[in-house]
Amino acid sequence: MNLASFVLFIIYAFLFRQSRGEFGVARQASIEAEGPDNLEDESTSANLVEKLIKGWHELDQATAVEIVAVIEAAKQDPETVVLVRRLNNGGGKDSLQSLKNDLPKQQIVRLLARSLEEMKAAEILFRDPRRAYEEMEKEGLIPADMKSVYKRDPTLLADNKKKSLYFSFVTMASTGGFM
């Protein structure tokens, strides 16, 4: 079940990778048209930390606090607010509901923790975007159709990878009802 859930998560993240336009494309006018600057705050940070730890008893307090910090920052970002609304009410609603039904809360919290670790690792990896590109190319992690683009501009690879990881994190947070 764990492997199947992880594969489902990867497939889901890949499907929504095409929605890169959500990040940085929607300008203030369209953001304001969709509602206020932040999501309703249903729980305090302390309650959210407690919910995460209850969701997965192996989660340590420090990681839970880091996850909550990212969630709270995401709730303040207008573009992320619009993205979450669209996921919950629009195009991603059926997929999110499917994930909610297929993944137990423990698995969602594990995937949130994994996403956080991957986001932190990406920050370290992409301190030198050129070297990161070379290493990822050696490992075969760069799609063939994007090699020339990323070779010319390795910072684009860094940006796209970070946005993809952030989107995965936000998707899992939404799926778990934390956003």
Instruction: Output the pLDDT for position 100.
Output: 84
Secondary structure class of 90 (helix, strand, coil): coil
Question: Of 65-69, 94-98, 112-116, which range is least confident?
Answer: 94-98
Radius of gyration in angstroms for the set of CA atoms belonging to the chain, rounded to a whole number: 17
Number of domains in the chain: 1
- d(CA 114, CA 95) in angstroms, rounded, equals 20
Q: Which residue has the tokens 């684009």?
A: 156
- d(CA 118, CA 6) in angstroms, rounded, equals 14
Question: Of 4-13, 48-57, 131-140, which range is least confident?
Answer: 4-13
- d(CA 176, CA 163) in angstroms, rounded, equals 20
Q: Given pLDDT bands bounded at 50, 70 and 90, which one contains residue 45?
A: confident
Instruction: Output the pLDDT for position 56.
Output: 87
Domain interval for residue 9:
2-175
- For residue 106, the number of C-alpha atoms closer than 13 Å in the C-beta half-sphere is 5
Instruction: Output the pLDDT for position 93.
Output: 66
- Name the helix (H) or strand (E) containing 69: helix 61-76
Instruction: Output the pLDDT for position 91.
Output: 66
Question: Of 47-56, 115-124, 147-156, 161-170, which range is least confident?
Answer: 47-56
The helix, strand and coil proportions of the chain, stated in percent and rounded to the nearest 5, come to 80, 0, 20
**Averaged over 152-162, what is the pLDDT?**
96
- d(CA 172, CA 95) in angstroms, rounded, equals 11
- d(CA 161, CA 165) in angstroms, rounded, equals 6
**Model confidence at 29: pLDDT above 70:** no
Highest mean pLDDT pick, 28-42, 56-70, 91-105: 56-70
